[in-house]
Structure 1
Amino acid sequence: MENTATGTGAIIFDADMSNFMPDVIERSMQVPVLVDFWATWCEPCKTLGPILEKVVSEANGAVVMAKVDIDKTQEIAAQMQIRSVPTVVAFIDGRPVDAFAGVKTESEIREFIEKIAPEVGPSESAKLIEYADQAFEAENYQEAGGAYSQALQMEPDNIQATAGLANSLIKLGDLENAEQVLSGAADKNDPVISAALAALETAKQLGDIGYLDALIKAAQDNPDDYQAKFDLSLALWAANKRDEAAQELLDIIAADRSWQDDGARTQLLKFFEMAGPMDPFTVAARRKLSSLLFS
């Protein structure tokens, strides 16, 4: 831990029973203090530690950090009820106010620190992502993709930037590069990555299924043609007609749930994943789906 030091003026320092009271508890009356509980045998600690030190160092004194080796300070760990490492606890005004356990990305750590030390402000990558999000909402996907890409250059493991760049590429029709971006995601189980993967799969399914008007006519001419209704649902989703897209799938489920091995319900669940679990669209459509399945 060559970046650590001792003394009340250090930004990053080691703490134990001898200095925990003055350097953590008392010092937190003047400045927020992060306490990083770690252990030499803890592999995740070796990942989190350098990220924490980088972000704290860049905060220029707005927050400081004490590093506590739980094997050497078992009494402190027991008093703080530390059950796993790494665990990071924030102290303000002499008491713990927030905490997290496990490895976090640089952007997540910055967000955590911004809550306890607002003057730190967002990082350059966070500013780029915010700008990119706005460009994406305005359907300026080329500009959004460029900003997400810049953010990733600064912070290669940033999940939001990874998903944002992939979604921008999907909107631009560059599915091959979108797939490549997602393949390098730091956490493929993160909900935003899962949503981008669902969007990519849906975009691949769209392929050359035809123009929207032609699909609408095909579905209307033959209501029992479930493939036409399925294709229409994908096209409606691509046209941002989410409620109509869900209704086509719900109609298939109501008529023949077994069609294509429950394919309509599977696709509807992908729509939910892309929209997000708390989106009003998801809430309303999921309610309709439940009424169909359990009526």
Structure 2
Amino acid sequence: MQRRNMSMSGVVDLSAVKAAGEAKEKAEQARARSAEQGGAGGPVSLVIDVDEASFEAEVLQRSAEVPVVIDFWAEWCEPCKQLSPVLERVTREYAGRVLLAKIDADQNQMLMQQFGVQGIPAVFAVVAGQALPLFQGAAPEAQIRQTLDQLVQVSEERFGITGLQGVADEGAEQEPQAPAEPENPALAAAQEALDTGDLNGAVQAYQNVLSDDPGNTEARVGLAMAELLGRVQGLDAQQVRKEAADAPSDVEAQLRAADLDMAGGHVEDAFGRLVETVKRTAGDDRETARVRLLELFEVIGAEDPRVVTARSALARVLF
């Protein structure tokens, strides 16, 4: 979906010489303690569940030794169900250069407020106690890897934090070996295309799945996401927003702006813009705006509270 790419220039205090110096010192101390205890080469949990009670120990303290990536998720969030497994797999492949802390957004509202989370999935990092916004929404795997590479580089160059080198993941070892479920080749091909940024291929592959299984929720969400990403590719965000502001009755301008809102993680803004467009239009224009709104509902998932609220607002303007 909609992504805010990680911007190193926007990270609070990351460039501060004093903060970097203190972080390097803490990292050296953490590595020294690890060496005294026999090194960090044994099994550790690279993917952990964190709540408000364990946040300081599991995230803040660990961030002096290894970058901690935070995944805000919820059970009802369909994009979360697509993003989280990719984050977990990639984290394990990084073999201790990063840790992944999973935070249930519904159960940890205080942390949501502290990080300023407005929509999920939302991904942050903590390095030496400093918070970095990474991206929001279900990003393709290629972008996730690029972002983590930047995070590892910044952590090492500015803070001297090199992570837990060469560790094994005890969580992966403890997972029971469940019988392999038959994989839908078309769905696997669609997900791979989406992860690698082949949006046209992803759209076609998801459509292939839905032609055989119209009720496949994963395929519906994936198709809506791929189509959204395809629509916003190459758009000049500043120009799109100017056109939408200058011509509130221009339906196409409002559709483009709503897509950008959604792609940037501003879900309520996207829904609100289209509800207002439906309200002020009639005939084919109204139907076009209504259909686009329903398509964006698919990206988030029917159970998302923001979708429920927007559906009610849509019903009020229609009837």
**Common fold, TM-score beyond 0.5?**
no
Please, what TM-score do these two structures have when normalized by structure 2?
Answer: 0.42
Considering Cα pairs closer than 8 Å and 6+ residues apart, tell me whether 1 or 2 has the greater RCO.
Answer: 2
Larger Rg: 1
